[in-house]
Amino acid sequence: MFKAIRQVLKEQFKYRDLIFRMASFEVKGTHQIHYLGSFWQFLNPAIQIAIYWFVFGIGLRGGADVGNTPFFLWLIIGLIPWFFIAPTVTQGSNSVHQKIGLVSKMNFPVSLLPTIRIVSNSYQFFAMLALLIVVSLLYRIPLSIYTIQIIYYTISMYVFLFAFALVSSTISTLIRDFQVLLQSLMRMLFYLTPILWSTDLIIEKFNKWGYIIENILKLNPFYYIIEGFRDSILGRSWFFEDPIYMGYFWVFTFALLYFGSMLHLKFRKNFMDYM
């Protein structure tokens, strides 16, 4: 039953050095023609954070805190994982179609292509995560035992993104309309995930129905990851305190991994026929 998963994971492990070399090459190649070079990896998200903070924090909220947390800190805890998730999902889904012509004549496992994209985006994510820790300390939010959960939620995020990339990169190669649909879906999920707003507002406004709406929104796996990072930085709760939701996330993720591995291995020999 898990033969396909084992094969795909074995390829990632066997060619791990190649993955990191190609990911590093992609990062350097992306910004080599710009005067500011790799600095754009930090400047671009910084500009977006400033805009969201001004519009939603100052404009709509009037600078009000979210509970006892300053809105700016609450905002960037959600935005920094999302700035890694969103481009990784869209670029990962296009990774096979984009490079299949290049690697088709080489002894190169195509399953590495989504992973290379995930790793290449990781440099920016970890740098921004370190910056997030510094900002939280500036806001006098001390590191606590809960902070160690960042490791768990980071692993959760990577496993989910890899599983999803296997599925989406295969479908996107077979059906090109899927790439356009996915880009629209990610824009929609940005506003349906509590990144710019808090679910407390829904509960306050709709009372009992608010909890129902919140549970529906929790079906979005990105909700689990974003709120997990907030739980870790702000010291709100442990990941195992809600075993039902944790179980849902991992069942959903491993189902994607199984389906994605099967789909990828079934069609990858014929990818060139769909180009």
The stretch 12-19 carries a mean pLDDT of: 88
* pLDDT > 60? residue 36: no
Per-residue model confidence as pLDDT tens digits over 96-121? 877 776 666 667 788 888 999 999 89
- List Cα–Cα distances, 132 to 64, 75, 147, 148, 234, in angstroms: 20, 11, 12, 14, 12
* pLDDT > 90? residue 222: yes
Half-sphere exposure of 41 (CA within 13 A, CB side): 21
Between 200 and 162, where is the model more confident?
162
pTM beyond cutoff 0.95: no
| Residue 128 belongs to domain spanning | 3-274
**Amino acid 235: pLDDT:** 85
First-residue to last-residue Cα distance in the chain: 30
**Amino acid 236: pLDDT:** 84
**Amino acid 119: pLDDT:** 92
Percent of the chain topping pLDDT 90: 30
Q: Where are the alpha helices (DSSP H) in 139-220?
A: 149-174, 177-192, 199-206, 208-217
Mean pLDDT for all residues in the chain: 84
3-class DSSP state of 169: helix
**Amino acid 229: pLDDT:** 94
**Amino acid 30: pLDDT:** 67
Domain count of the fold of the chain = 1
Between 148 and 34, where is the model more confident?
148
**Tokens standing for residue 59:** 């404009």
Per-residue model confidence as pLDDT tens digits over 86-98? 999 999 898 887 7
The secondary structure of residue 59, as a DSSP letter, is: I
Between 245 and 54, where is the model more confident?
245
Between 212 and 7, where is the model more confident?
7
Between 101 and 130, where is the model more confident?
130
| 3-state secondary structure labels for all residues of 64-75 | CCECCECHHHHH
Of the candidate ranges 57-61, 88-92, 198-202, 218-222, the one whose mean pLDDT is the lowest: 57-61
Whether residue 258 contacts residue 5, with contact meaning beta carbons closer than 8 Å, is answered with yes
Whether residue 172 contacts residue 267, with contact meaning beta carbons closer than 8 Å, is answered with no
**Amino acid 209: pLDDT:** 75
Model confidence at 263, pLDDT cuts 50, 70, 90, reads: confident
φ/ψ (deg, to 5) at 207 = 55, -120
Q: From 223, 42, 16, select the one nearest 119 (Cα to Cα).
A: 16
- List Cα–Cα distances, 35 to 38, 58, 128, in angstroms: 9, 33, 21
Of the candidate ranges 41-45, 77-81, 142-146, 260-264, the one whose mean pLDDT is the lowest: 41-45
**Amino acid 157: pLDDT:** 96
- For CA atoms 37, 80, 11, 269, give the dihedral sign: negative
Model confidence at 218, pLDDT cuts 50, 70, 90, reads: confident
